[in-house]
Chain A
Amino acid sequence: MTSIDLQQTRRFRWKKFATEGAGRLIIFLVGSVILWALISAFLIERPDRYLPSPLSVVLSSADMLYKGSLLSFYSDTLTRLLFGGAVGILIGIPVGLALGLNRTVADMFYPLMNFFQSVSGIAIFPIIVIWFGNSDTTVLIVVLYTSFFPITFNVLSGVRAVPVRYIQAARTLGASRLQVVRDVLLPGAMPSIAVGTRLSVGFAWRAVIAGEMLAGRPGLGNMIFSGQELDNSAQIILGMVMIGITWIVLDHYLLRPLEADTIERWGLVQR
């Protein structure tokens, strides 16, 4: 290999590192923190109020970690999401399946489910507050509501979308009704279960944050809201970053692989 070739190869490797995968992410992160620090230091008039520097956000997080409030807020929020989301999904899947089994029943409930999954959970918050007051129950019901309907609707339409031919084929092989459900309808609805799960968890996550803000229950949502009330902008930004990162981790490492996996394995494409 000549020296020119070697140089070219080296430049290529650097370019590859800088434009792909982990290297790109590192450069991006470092770059955006520097940009943020510069904007905060030179462009904003009162940075402590309008855009605190990265350092003050880090200090704020250290402070809250030391006091123990950060971890407790975080675990409160995650518990609400896990509980509300899991219960909603665990009820939603069988309900969706049951409603989807019979064509008449499915046609009957399709518009209803579609309507309720479009109604945002945050909008019904005031009604729930009237019923249950500003309590943990209120937040949980809103989260449950937002996670239940998207998954139920998706499972319902997923079961309906399984081609009748498959069911007929299984029946001619001598499958019973139960076996048709287990071997044909459930696997056939798997992609929509995955898509619905992702939607449900996504809406539930937003509902948790909004619910905590509105009901004033301890958690990340309340942490950023009180940050505004206490004039502590570093706390707001810390909360926002945590909300964003939590969702990215959840979405990219759990929900999206689940979705891609089921859709790919069955060789099915939605829509």
Chain B
Amino acid sequence: MTAISEFSIAIQRRVGRQRLRRGILGSIPFIFIIFLWELNTYFVWYEPIEIPPIADVWGAIFFMQSDCPGLVAAFQLHNDCQLSNNIMSSVGRVILAAVVGIPFGIAFGILAGINRTISGYLEPVGIFMNSVSGIAWIPLAIVWFGVGWETTLFIMLNTIFWLIFFNTMMGVRAVPKVLVHGVQTLGGSRFDTIWNVYLPGAMPSIITGMRMSLAFGWRALIAAEMIGGDSGLGFMIFVSAVEFKTEEVFLGVILISLIYLMSDRWLLVPLEKWTIERWGLVWKPT
């Protein structure tokens, strides 16, 4: 008894009472869903082809990787490593699109945002491109690049670039002119005002743009892989659904959600908090 209560007090101290309470409460619905899901396996209210047992979903990981020679081969994208290949091809596209799209989006966004006339003309371009971006580009991308790697990359890149471009431009426009004047009167050059004022001033808005492009881009990428791709998690779940391998579809959907949630919570949210809280800036979405 005392040992248990001591243990519980120790945990409460370490994690914090509120966080512990929220953690336990928040996990209840998940546990309940998993419980129901498991019950279905025993009572078979729905056929396994409609809702596969949890064990099958878990087993699908090993089944899909069964021919994979090893970890090194998985990273070398060996042909038989089905699951890891699909994960890496989706994630790789996001990274590649981010590496290209973010710097270009920021650069063009700053150049357009500094000049009021130019940004006035480019604002509708940004709005329009963001409205069509993602899914609606898929058919045209297939016409341009054919089914495969380029089409899916283009969809992701297109989403990232326009969102970052637009958010950077709006962020730069919202930077108070007096900050620019302050740096100019200290002897700052054009480059100095960009590097010291416009870029950090637009930072909260750029990071919002990054979060939005992951949210919209990831969805669009999955759709693009389903419709016009030949690899990736979206392709995987689509093909598995056609072959009625429901456990692989469930596995893919769970992985798609987890990858998105983890990269948003552990990468972008901390980044957002770091700049916004440290600098005391609040970015109001326009």
Are the C-beta atoms of A108 and B28 separated by less than 8 Å?
yes
The answer to whether the Cβ of A176 comes within 8 Å of any Cβ in the partner chain is no
Considering only residues 12-70 of chain A, those with a C-beta below 8 Å from chain B are 19-20, 24-25, 27-28, 31-32, 49-50
Are B21 and A107 touching (Cβ within 8 A)?
A: yes
Select which of B25, B143, B257, B282 is within 8 A of A49 by beta carbon: B143
Within A222-258, the residues touching B (CB, 8 Å) are: 224-225, 227-228, 231, 233, 236-237, 239-241, 243-245, 247-248, 251-252
Q: Give Cα A168 to B21, complex, Å.
A: 24
A210 partner, pick from B29, B127, B223, B246, beta carbons under 8 A? B223
Distance in angstroms from A246 CB to nearest chain B CB is 8
Q: Which residues of B contact A101 (CB under 8 A)?
A: none
Nearest B residue to A252 by beta-carbon distance?
B127
A193–B220 alpha-carbon span in the complex (Å): 25
A9 contacts B by Cβ under 8 Å: no
Cβ of A6 under 8 Å from chain B: no
Which of these, B28, B138, B256, B282, contacts A123 with CB under 8 Å? Answer: B256
Asked if B275 CB lies within 8 Å of chain A CBs, one says: no
Inter-chain CA distance A57–B135, complex, in Å, is 20
One of A79-87, A127-135, A184-192 at the interface: A127-135
Q: Mark B5-39, 1 if CB is under 8 A from A, else 0.
A: 00000000000000001100111111000000000
Residues in B with CB closer than 8 Å to A240 are: 132, 136-137, 140
User: What separation, in Å, do the CA atoms of A244 and B135 have in the docked complex?
Assistant: 11
Q: Inside 8 A of A110's CB, which chain B residues have their CB?
A: 22, 26
Interface size class of A (residues with CB under 8 A): 35 or more
Contact status B132-A243, CB under 8 Å: yes
User: A108-B26, A210-B223 are contacts. A126–B139 as well, Cβ < 8 Å?
Assistant: no
From DSSP, what is the main secondary structure of chain A's interface residues? helix
Question: CB distance B226 to A125 under 8 Å?
Answer: yes
A213 CB contact (under 8 Å) in B28, B124, B143, B227: B227
- Residues on the B chain within 8 Å of A31, using CB: 121
Set B219, B227, B282: member contacting A120, Cβ < 8 A: B219
Please, which residues of chain A bring their CB within 8 A of the CB of B132?
240-241, 243-244, 247
Q: Is A109 an interface residue (CB 8 A)?
A: yes
Q: Which residues of A contact B237 (CB under 8 A)?
A: 123, 126
Q: At the interface, yes or no: B117 with Cβ under 8 Å from chain A?
A: yes
- Are A248 and B143 in contact, with the CB atoms below 8 A? no
Name the contact of A233 in the complex, choosing from B136, B143, B250 (C-beta under 8 A): B143
Contacting residue for A247 out of B131, B222, B256, CB 8 A: B131
Task: Determine whether the beta carbon of B22 is less than 8 Å from that of A123.
Answer: no
In the complex, which residue of chain A has the Cβ closest to the Cβ of B283?
A: A271
Q: Is A118 an interface residue (CB 8 A)?
A: yes
User: Binary interface profile of B, 108-119, with partner A (CB < 8 Å = 1, else 0)?
Assistant: 000000001100
A224 interface neighbour in B22, B120, B136, B244, Cβ under 8 Å: B136
Chain B residue nearest to A129 (CB atoms) is B241
**B25 touching A108 by the CB < 8 A rule?**
yes
User: Is there contact, CB below 8 Å, between B50 and A228?
Assistant: no
Distance A119 CA – B121 CA, assembled complex (angstroms) = 36
Q: B54: CB under 8 A from chain A?
A: no
**A94: Cβ under 8 A from any B Cβ:** no
Q: Chain B: residues with CB nearer than 8 A to chain A?
A: 21-22, 25-30, 49-50, 116-117, 120-121, 124-125, 127-128, 131-132, 134-140, 142-144, 216, 218-220, 222-223, 226-227, 234, 237-238, 240-241, 244, 246, 249-250, 252-253, 256-257, 260-261, 264, 282, 284-285
Q: 23 A-B pairs, CB-CB below 8 angstroms?
A: A19-B120, A32-B125, A107-B25, A109-B29, A118-B257, A118-B264, A120-B256, A122-B135, A122-B222, A123-B234, A123-B237, A126-B252, A127-B241, A127-B250, A130-B50, A130-B244, A206-B134, A206-B220, A224-B136, A243-B131, A247-B132, A248-B128, A271-B282
Since A110-B22, A206-B216, A248-B127 are in contact, a sample of 16 more A-B pairs with Cβ atoms closer than 8 Å, ordered by chain A residue number, is: A28-B121, A50-B144, A108-B26, A110-B26, A111-B26, A112-B29, A118-B264, A119-B260, A126-B241, A126-B249, A130-B246, A206-B220, A210-B223, A225-B138, A237-B140, A243-B136
6 shortest A-B CB distances, which residue pairs? A126-B241, A111-B26, A228-B139, A244-B132, A120-B219, A247-B131
